[in-house]
Amino acid sequence: MRKNGSILIRTALQQAYNSKPLRFLVAGGWNTAFGYASFALLYYLFSDKIHYLLLMVFAAILSITNAYICHKFFVFKTKGNYIKEYLRYYVVYSVPIGFGFIFLPFCIEILKMNFYVTQAFLTLITVIISYFGHKHVSFRA
């Protein structure tokens, strides 16, 4: 019975690894945590010296590069086209980033919302937009 259980677990893990949507969710979880943590850390370390919008630019570059690597090698497993895909990746992310540059100041300056809560909401929106954008634009065949 124990051997059958380990075979079932191994089979389930193999099927999960072969599922592109599931790999996207796993990578998305990592990328979301990385993106939120990098921006929060930069904000914590430098907000008294550097405006949060400039920190957002630095965090976006770090986060997008991290996410590109995860998606290219773990999720979509494409070969070659590094520069082309990386540039398309930025095009896809320009939508949620543009939204963030409008939404973040509005929520913080006008609505007086908490920075960390606002950033968490922006992260969720970015995940949703990026799934469809990367699937249909960044890593299209």
CA neighbor of 64 nearest in space, from 104, 34, 20: 34
d(CA 138, CA 141): 9
Q: Using a cut of 0.75, tell me whether the model's pTM lies above it.
A: no
Q: What is the pLDDT of residues 1-10, one digit of tens each?
A: 566 777 877 7
Q: Extract the tokens encoding 141.
A: 């065949």
Q: Assign 40 a pLDDT band (cuts: 50, 70, 90).
A: very high
